């Protein structure tokens, strides 16, 4: 395609080569070709530098994942040693190796529910894809073949494979992809700020959403619904912190109808919400759990699905019947990834990373909540070391800006100009810094975000 930015960047620059050769995920490709890419060149601790020497404070932990920040020498050492010792080993066909075994043991011990077995994948998408397949497999082998439907939530994000993308409840991830697939349903997002009725309390809102879920299950037939899947806090949907009573009421509905709870902890797991897992922060009793991202602090790709023993016990005789458990990935339990993940979990304990994150959450949330007074901010919400501000044209009516204004996108660009990486999600500006940040860096985050909000306010007043 003809690209005017090729005339802006030197022909042999990384920017020009990117525009000529790359297909970017989760990117407005038209905007990319108007503005060009930002090339990250190096990183250390909580900071990233681009290829022009500009420094940025990492306000998004990469993609909600770099919990230990960048340049952790201990993880580099472990990766190199494992690569020399056993660079690859499959775990198909009764093969195994020490890093995967020890990581599975460690994960089971950390779980906030009765964990039975650990299945390894590469990322959140294929792990959540696996969750759906295991729900179908389990109910087939126990003779409940009609129990196939999975209920996810609008504004939820569970990945982008065909099945995980179907679970995701965000329209851009369905448009033109012919998603969602059959047997995937969606119910209300726990989005109190935007979806509460006039005068409705948080408790009343939660009661109404639970009633809507109950109605959906009854309408579909409880005998056809296998599971409900939820992030403790929907991240990509705008850091939607569930209101009072939400999970208590939702879980009562699920128990009444015999529907399993798939807890997607890809973002919330490993200290992000102020506890080791979001399930503990919000009193969730999962049936199964998905973990990824901070499992290895994003140093290498790895994810896991943790299932209860009763599910595994049903799988065993079924594989005798057909000859194998017909699911898995070449890189399931990759020894280098598993070794790095295991050492990551040990570092979390040795350095009290979860405790440190919970302590840093106090000033982080205080500064975040203070932004609610800004003229552009309709809502400032968060938990632990994650949060978002929702930008509005009118605070009284909650009226959003017209799409062509792009207030949150502009705010994110101005934050980058001031040396802060954030992410705009619709009209929300999200924050999710590495868990290792200190209080001075918390102050730096919000000082730079406030400058970006000021720039955005000035622009909207000129329009």
CATH 3.40.640.10, the chain: domain bounds: 74-350
Which stretches within 297-334 are classed as H helix?
Answer: 309-322
Phi, psi of 341, deg, nearest 5: -65, -45
pTM (2 decimals)?
A: 0.96
**Cα 270 to the chain's mean position, in Å?**
12
CATH 3.90.1150.10 domain position(s) in the chain = 38-71+353-462
Pairing of strands 184-187, 149-153: parallel
Helix ranges (H only) for 275-331 are 278-281, 309-322
| pLDDT tens-place values along the chain, 463 residues long | 555 555 578 888 999 999 999 999 999 999 999 999 999 999 999 999 999 999 999 999 999 999 999 999 999 999 999 999 999 999 999 999 999 999 999 999 999 999 999 999 999 999 999 999 999 999 999 999 999 999 999 999 999 999 999 999 999 999 999 999 999 999 999 999 999 999 999 999 999 999 999 999 999 999 999 999 999 999 999 999 999 899 999 999 999 999 999 999 999 999 999 999 999 999 999 999 999 999 999 999 999 999 999 999 999 999 999 999 999 999 999 999 999 999 999 999 999 999 999 999 999 999 999 999 999 999 999 999 999 999 999 999 999 999 899 999 999 999 999 999 999 999 999 999 999 999 999 999 999 999 999 999 999 998 7
Reported as type and span, the H/E element at residue 55 is: strand 55-58
pLDDT of amino acid 8: 74
Paired with 119 in beta bridges are 305
CATH 3.40.50.360 fits 74-350, yes or no: no
Structure tokens belonging to residue 280: 């503990």
* Residue (of 38, 16, 11) closest to 27 by Cα position: 38
Residue 457: predicted pLDDT:
97
3-state secondary structure of 426: coil
| 269, 291 contact by CB (below 8 A) | yes
Question: Do the Cβ atoms of 276 and 354 come closer than 8 Å?
Answer: yes
Q: State the helix-helix crossing angle for 335-350 and 73-85, rounded to 10 degrees.
A: 150
**252 exposure class (CB count in 10 Å sphere: 0-12, 13-18, 19+):** exposed
CATH number of 38-71+353-462: 3.90.1150.10
Q: Are 417 and 457 contacting, i.e. CB atoms less than 8 angstroms apart? A: no
Task: Give the Cα separation of 415 and 131 in Å (integer).
Answer: 37
Given a contact cutoff of 8 angstroms between Cβ atoms, the answer to whether 294 and 54 are in contact is: no
CA atoms within a 13 Å half-sphere pointing along the CA-CB vector of 10: 3
DSSP 132-157: HHHHHHHHHHTT-TT--EEEEETT--
Q: What's the CA dihedral at 245, 246, 248, 254 to 10 degrees?
A: 160
Q: Which two tokens stand for residue 387?
A: 């949060």
């Amino acid at each position: 395609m003809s690209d005017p930015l090729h005339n802006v960047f030197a022909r042999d620059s990384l920017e020009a080569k990117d525009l000529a050769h790359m297909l970017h995920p989760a990117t407005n490709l038209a905007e990319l070709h108007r503005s060009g890419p930002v090339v990250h060149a190096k990183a250390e601790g909580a900071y990233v530098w681009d290829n022009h020497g500009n420094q940025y404070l990492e306000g998004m932990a990469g993609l909600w994942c770099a919990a230990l920040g960048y340049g952790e020498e201990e993880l580099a050492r472990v990766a190199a040693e494992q690569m020399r010792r056993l660079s690859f080993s499959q775990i198909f066909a009764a093969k195994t190796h020490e890093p995967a075994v020890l990581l599975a043991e460690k994960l089971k011990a950390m779980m906030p529910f009765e964990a039975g077995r650990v299945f390894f994948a590469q990322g959140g998408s294929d792990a959540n894809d696996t969750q759906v397949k295991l729900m179908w497999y389990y109910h087939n082998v126990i003779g409940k073949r009609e129990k196939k439907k999975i209920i996810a939530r609008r504004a939820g994000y569970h990945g982008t494979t065909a099945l995980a993308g179907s679970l995701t409840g965000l329209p851009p991830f369905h448009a033109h992809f012919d998603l969602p697939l059959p047997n995937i349903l969606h119910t209300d997002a726990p989005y109190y700020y935007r979806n509460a009725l006039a005068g409705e309390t948080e408790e009343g809102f939660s009661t109404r959403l639970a009633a809507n879920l109950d109605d959906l299950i009854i309408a579909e037939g409880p005998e056809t619904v296998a599971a409900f899947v939820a992030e403790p806090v929907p991240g990509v949907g705008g850091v939607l912190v569930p209101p009072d009573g939400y999970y208590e009421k939702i879980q009562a509905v699920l128990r009444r109808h015999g529907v399993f709870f798939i807890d997607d902890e890809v973002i919330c797991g490993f200290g992000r919400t102020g506890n080791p897992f979001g399930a503990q922060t919000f009193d969730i009793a999962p049936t199964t759990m998905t973990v990824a991202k901070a499992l290895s602090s994003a140093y290498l790709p790895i994810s896991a699905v943790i299932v209860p023993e009763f599910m595994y016990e049903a799988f065993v005789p079924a594989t005798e019947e057909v000859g194998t458990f017909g699911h898995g990935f070449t890189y399931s339990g990759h020894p280098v990834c598993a070794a790095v993940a295991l050492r990551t979990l040990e570092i979390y304990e040795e350095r009290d990373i979860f405790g440190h994150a919970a302590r840093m959450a106090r000033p982080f949330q205080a500064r975040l909540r203070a932004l609610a007074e800004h003229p552009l901010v309709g809502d400032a919400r968060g938990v632990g070391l994650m949060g978002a501000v929702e930008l509005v044209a009118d605070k009284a009516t909650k009226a959003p800006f017209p799409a062509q204004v792009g207030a949150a996108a502009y705010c994110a660009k101005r934050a980058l100009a001031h040396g802060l990486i954030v992410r705009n999600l619709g009209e929300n500006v999200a924050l999710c810094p590495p868990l290792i940040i200190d209080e001075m860096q918390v102050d730096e985050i919000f000082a730079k975000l406030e400058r970006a909000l000021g720039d955005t306010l000035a622009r909207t007043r000129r329009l």
